Chain A
Amino acid sequence: MTDTAILSIQSIVDLLNRRKPYALTRLQSEYPSYRSALEPGKKLGDDSRPSSQMLQDLAQQTIAVAKEEGLATSQRIQRRFRMSARLRLAGAVVSSLSSAGIIAALTQGSTRAALVSGCIAFGSSCFTLVAQYVEDYAGGQQSFKDLRERVAIHTTCIWEVEAEFKLMVALNEFGGIEELVRKLNVAVAAIRQAQLAVS
């Protein structure tokens, strides 16, 4: 297997297309020779290697949007977590109440009331199971906990990229721009993956 890594900027371009299409259009007009690389959607073949100047502009346009995207995704996962926890709590509460209802109905000798309480207890335990499933697997066999951790890691990574980029600008030394864009692309791709998993 040939292990030659290429520089992919696809996720960054897709993010710009979703959130700042005017910025992408401007980049396309500024760099007409890289128009194909700046088109949203994966190219199913070889592409031209982007220039350092184009990568600088791309990084500058994207970092802030990527940070916002990471935070928004993180919040969305948190919301899902809370909803799932509430669902589980509600299920458990109803289940305990109806179990108490069964006991009370049986002591009073009312079979029908016991049956109704039993049905409610069964339903609420199903709710708890659904909440468990949603928390552990929903969104393509990825648990919420994993997603939350992954998004947190990659959001931090974007902060690091921002700091590195600011340092490059301050020193006017862009030797490591390719590596920086690569890191940014990985982070943006991971956040988008998480975003689609919880949508």
Chain B
Amino acid sequence: MCHGRFSTLSYIIFCLLFFISESHASWWGAFLNSGEEAAKFAKKASVVAGRAVLKTLPKSRQGAHALEISGSEIRAIDIAGREIVIATMSTGAAMTLTPQGAALLKQVELIVSEIDVNRLEHIVRDAIKASGKPAFVVSENGTVGRLVVRATPTGETLLMEKYPGIFIRAGERSAELSWALERPFQNDKIRVVSLMDPSDADELARLDKVVGEYHIPVGSHTPSEAVHQIRSQREKTVFVVGHVEKDKFIVRDSAGQIKSEISFSELEDAAEKADASLFLLGCSAAACSTTSAFIDPVNALRVADGLKDAISRATLGDALSALSTAGDIVVSSKVVHSARVMLFAEQKALLVDKRIESSYRVLKLTTVGRERAEELADRIVPYIPSWVQYPYFVGAFFLIFSARGIVREWKSFRTPAPAFARKPIISTLVKGIRILGFAVLMPLAVCLNLAIIFGAWVVGTVPLFMTLGWTTLVPAYFGWKWSRHFAEEANGEPWTVRYLGIPLFVGIIGILVAILMSPIELFRGIEYADLQARLIYWVASGSTSMLISAFALRFLTRRKSNWNPADIPGLVIAGALLLIEFCVSRVLHKGETADD
């Protein structure tokens, strides 16, 4: 044993020394890098593989050629597998087209692997311009996107479709952009700033209807006020909708006269200072801006409809895909910085939540007594029976720990209230219903939630352990298995919620077994029976429990089932929130006009 320990220790020390030495570290680094390169090549081989990609295309596109870099040569492969060398690369990565290649590129559609796009950028760009035919890119996960050439501030640029309708500029770090696009998209963090004259009433009304209070019309403001508005949107996702002429948003009235104009650079500076993600939603704004923007001409009503779809999506990528129904969008790498800042802010907020929670844990020890609470309740809300008041105040107290989380979750799915300036009465009603509904219902919901958790643990375990004895351990074990099955989903919940499956199983199956056993004469008055009768009872009740528990567990954890015991307490809170939102939707529905 001792020898074994020493040999393990010496092995670890040897390995450490091996890494400590600089030359060895560089050797390992090179080895690991070469592994990465090998993996890349393998992936590339699997993605491009000439004919394999071409065969996935429709028949009309089967004249296309796949481009592949092979050593110092660039080859075009057709569907039959014929290879033509179209260019050669020198050591400085300069490319020389072969006469065959120059002729071919003027005639055919091209397909390129995502890994090669940056290196083949010039060839593909020139080919698209020369042939006027489309080109495609095959991503690492096998999906096919478009390659287009558009004018940008840095000249004509090759844009690569990363997700449906979402393009990135060739040469930008697509891995970081992918990370930013997969970040959660919270609809309460978006702001739609419209730069339109009040005479564009239909467009403004549509935006109001779609995003409600998150719509900020600044068309009638001065340019500096509009810029200030953007500046005040800290860590938000800001969509600026307006009429674009060259590199400016221009507000024109219905007579076509210019009312105000704001350059893209002013908006970009303001957004950068506010750590906000900026999207310029105007015709071909990408041609004059390095920010995320539309590539081609768009229509304001379609943009509004796209925004309507976008705000209900889970990730930024999905939201932009929904928005791209109005027109293709190019996403800038600037969103990566904003996404990082937002992530940092969210983590900081969680830390504050935890601090608040721990400080209230201390307060909990010195809370007011029951008599005092009764007295206070009588003073504040007279005429309300105490059986409502007790749970209300108990719930209100525990709500302190969870209110922030509940409100955050609520914000993510609730419909935005209409803007006050447009519909003051409905806006006030919606906000009033939400505040009143939360104040009245939520303490009661939290109390009911606690009653379910603690009630299940107390009622579902203690009395049954006393009556059924050791056989109660059987459903308890299956209850534990049930909770373990959903352990990942319940991660972060307190253990009383995480293992709620145990008391639920014990309670329901224990009572069921007790009912099944009760008609049998032998088991009547089992507490006073002899050891033999008790042993038979344990075996019988244990086997029955096991049988029922196994069937129940199989049913509850079958594939695609979502019977997570830890979700049960959350249903009460969700129910209260849905009830409030139902009332709000009734008011919002009444506020809709006949024109809508």
Interface set of A (CB-CB < 8 Å, partner B): 1-8, 10-11, 14, 36, 39-46, 137-138, 140-141, 182, 185-186, 188-190, 192-193, 195-196, 199
Interface centre among A39, A140, A189 (most CB of B within 10 A): A140
**CA distance in complex: A24, B169 (Å):** 39
Taking CB atoms, residues of chain A closer than 8 Å to B282 are 44-45
Taking CB atoms, residues of chain A closer than 8 Å to B469 are none
| Sample of 16 more A-B contacts, CB < 8 Å, known A10-B254, A45-B245 | A5-B256, A10-B200, A36-B297, A41-B302, A42-B202, A42-B203, A42-B299, A43-B300, A45-B282, A46-B283, A138-B424, A141-B421, A186-B253, A190-B199, A195-B201, A199-B593
**CA distance in complex: A4, B301 (Å):** 25
A4's closest neighbor in chain B, by CB? B258
Given A140-B421, A182-B255, A185-B255, also A41-B199 (CB < 8 A): no
Given A44-B244, A44-B282, also A6-B256 (CB < 8 A): yes
Is B242 a contact partner of A1 (Cβ separation < 8 A)?
A: no
**CA distance in complex: A2, B247 (Å):** 14
Is B198 a contact partner of A45 (Cβ separation < 8 A)?
A: no
Residues 412-430 of B, flagged 1 when their CB comes within 8 A of A and 0 if not, give: 0000000001101100000
B326's closest neighbor in chain A, by CB? A44
Cβ contact of A44, chosen from B198, B242, B261, cutoff 8 A: B242
Cβ contact of B595, chosen from A6, A40, A46, A199, cutoff 8 A: A199
Interface residue count on the B side (C-beta < 8 Å): 41
Taking CB atoms, residues of chain A closer than 8 Å to B302 are 41
Is A3 a contact partner of B299 (Cβ separation < 8 A)?
A: no
Please classify the interface of chain A as helix (H, G, I), strand (E, B), loop, or mixed, using the class held by over half of its residues: loop
**CA distance in complex: A36, B284 (Å):** 15
Given A42-B203, A44-B244, also A190-B298 (CB < 8 A): no
CB distance from B350 to the nearest CB of A (A): 39
A188's closest neighbor in chain B, by CB? B254
CB distance from A92 to the nearest CB of B (A): 21
CB distance from A142 to the nearest CB of B (A): 10
Taking CB atoms, residues of chain A closer than 8 Å to B15 are none
Cβ contacts A to B, 24 pairs, < 8 Å:
A6-B252, A8-B252, A10-B200, A11-B199, A11-B254, A41-B300, A41-B301, A42-B200, A42-B203, A42-B243, A43-B243, A43-B297, A43-B299, A44-B243, A44-B244, A44-B283, A44-B299, A45-B243, A45-B298, A137-B424, A182-B256, A189-B200, A189-B201, A196-B202
Taking CB atoms, residues of chain A closer than 8 Å to B281 are 44
- B76 is an interface residue with CB less than 8 A from chain A: no
**CA distance in complex: A141, B281 (Å):** 28
Is A14 a contact partner of B422 (Cβ separation < 8 A)?
A: no
**CA distance in complex: A36, B297 (Å):** 10
Taking CB atoms, residues of chain B closer than 8 Å to A189 are 199-201, 254
Is B200 a contact partner of A3 (Cβ separation < 8 A)?
A: no
- B257 is an interface residue with CB less than 8 A from chain A: yes
- B77 is an interface residue with CB less than 8 A from chain A: no
Cβ contact of B205, chosen from A6, A190, A196, cutoff 8 A: A196
**CA distance in complex: A193, B203 (Å):** 11
A12's closest neighbor in chain B, by CB? B254
Is A44 a contact partner of B303 (Cβ separation < 8 A)?
A: yes
Given A1-B261, A44-B299, A141-B421, also A190-B255 (CB < 8 A): no
A40's closest neighbor in chain B, by CB? B301
Interface centre among B201, B252, B281, B593 (most CB of A within 10 A): B201
Is B255 a contact partner of A39 (Cβ separation < 8 A)?
A: no
Taking CB atoms, residues of chain B closer than 8 Å to A1 are 258, 260-261
Residues 186-220 of B, flagged 1 when their CB comes within 8 A of A and 0 if not, give: 00000000001011111101000000000000000
Is B244 a contact partner of A45 (Cβ separation < 8 A)?
A: yes
Taking CB atoms, residues of chain A closer than 8 Å to B200 are 10, 42, 189
- B241 is an interface residue with CB less than 8 A from chain A: yes
Taking CB atoms, residues of chain A closer than 8 Å to B422 are 140
Is A196 a contact partner of B595 (Cβ separation < 8 A)?
A: yes
Within 8 A of A (CB), among B233-268: 241-245, 252-258, 260-261
- B363 is an interface residue with CB less than 8 A from chain A: no
A36's closest neighbor in chain B, by CB? B297
**CA distance in complex: A152, B281 (Å):** 36
A184's closest neighbor in chain B, by CB? B254
CB distance from B357 to the nearest CB of A (A): 43
- B362 is an interface residue with CB less than 8 A from chain A: no
Q: Which 6 A-B pairs have the closest CB atoms?
A: A45-B283, A41-B301, A189-B254, A42-B300, A199-B593, A189-B199
Is A39 a contact partner of B254 (Cβ separation < 8 A)?
A: no
Is B201 a contact partner of A193 (Cβ separation < 8 A)?
A: yes
Is B284 a contact partner of A45 (Cβ separation < 8 A)?
A: yes
Interface centre among A4, A7, A182, A196 (most CB of B within 10 A): A196
CB distance from B123 to the nearest CB of A (A): 31
Cβ contact of A45, chosen from B257, B297, B421, B425, cutoff 8 A: B297
B199's closest neighbor in chain A, by CB? A189
CB distance from A3 to the nearest CB of B (A): 6
**CA distance in complex: A2, B258 (Å):** 8
A130's closest neighbor in chain B, by CB? B425
- B594 is an interface residue with CB less than 8 A from chain A: yes
Is B594 a contact partner of A199 (Cβ separation < 8 A)?
A: yes
A134's closest neighbor in chain B, by CB? B425
CB distance from B439 to the nearest CB of A (A): 23
Taking CB atoms, residues of chain A closer than 8 Å to B242 are 44
A179's closest neighbor in chain B, by CB? B255
Is A193 a contact partner of B258 (Cβ separation < 8 A)?
A: no
B281's closest neighbor in chain A, by CB? A44
Cβ contact of B254, chosen from A138, A190, A195, cutoff 8 A: A190
CB distance from B18 to the nearest CB of A (A): 62
Within 8 A of A (CB), among B391-446: 421-422, 424-425
Is B203 a contact partner of A41 (Cβ separation < 8 A)?
A: yes
**CA distance in complex: A11, B201 (Å):** 9
Interface centre among A188, A190, A192 (most CB of B within 10 A): A192
